[in-house]
A and B are shown apart, each in its own frame.
Chain A
Amino acid sequence: DTAVSQTPKYLVTQMGNDKSIKCEQNLGHDTMYWYKQDSKKFLKIMFSYNNKELIINETVPNRFSPKSPDKAHLNLHINSLELGDSAVYFCASSQGTGFPQPQHFGDGTRLSIL
């Protein structure tokens, strides 16, 4: 009965490769997010989707492309991986837009670039 689930949990790959991370939520939320957490534990939002529509797009390189096939799924595709992309990526979801609601997080995908 996992609320927000991400796959894979660990991803080890070489520089230059393309990879995807998948996220699904079964909470019935309208809004989903991708965050990046660096080695110092700093969490920063990357993208946000509401009902499959992009609403937040931070200054993230074009190599990162989110895709939302439906409101329960938000995937993250990364092209031409670089060493600096090594981090933990978290997916989150919340109910609606407008007045803020708590965001519920998955357990993260630890991406390591060799």
Chain B
Amino acid sequence: GESVGLHLPTLSVQEGDNSIINCAYSNSASDYFIWYKQESGKGPQFIIDIRSNMDKRQGQRVTVLLNKTVKHLSLQIAATQPGDSAVYFCAEYYNQGGKLIFGQGTELSVKP
């Protein structure tokens, strides 16, 4: 069936540490993945995306890794800051339905 899930519902890190948020997806035919950040009272904000012909993509302080063999996606945030505290969602583009399937979300808490 369609499902995109997260291994950890909550993650607490110290300011300055690196954070890793994991995501498992179920549809091996999915060819596009997105990470979103959602702050309290706001809508999801695009962070970074990756297409299935890549296994790594880097942005500013963020890196997304895609392992198609085990259908796993991760978001790495370098030098995590208090402003990074939010709920992070991975989303899988389900080509047959032409829609994004969102995971449950991981709440990242950054301790100063």
Contacts and interface: CB of A to CB of B under 8 A. Distances in A.
B42 interface: yes
A106 B46 CA distance: 12
A41 B40 CA distance: 11
B104 A40 contact: yes
B25 interface: no
Contacts of A100: 31-32, 93, 100
Interface residues of B, number: 22
A97 B104 contact: no
B104 A103 contact: no
Max chain B CB contacts within 10 Å: which of A40, A43, A45, A107? A43
Contacts of A90: 43-44
Contacts of A41: 38, 87, 104-105
Given A56-B97, A102-B34, A44 B102 contact: yes
Contacts, number: 49
Contacts of B32: 99-100
Interface of A: 4, 40-45, 48, 55-56, 90, 92, 97, 99-100, 102-108
Nearest to A110: B41
Q: Which of B46, B98, B104 has the most CB of A within 10 A?
A: B98
B43 A108 contact: yes
B97 to A, nearest CB: 7
A30 B102 CA distance: 21
26 contacts: A41-B87, A41-B104, A42-B102, A42-B104, A42-B105, A43-B44, A43-B105, A45-B99, A45-B100, A55-B98, A56-B97, A56-B98, A90-B44, A92-B43, A100-B100, A102-B49, A103-B34, A103-B46, A103-B100, A105-B36, A105-B43, A105-B45, A107-B41, A107-B43, A108-B41, A108-B43
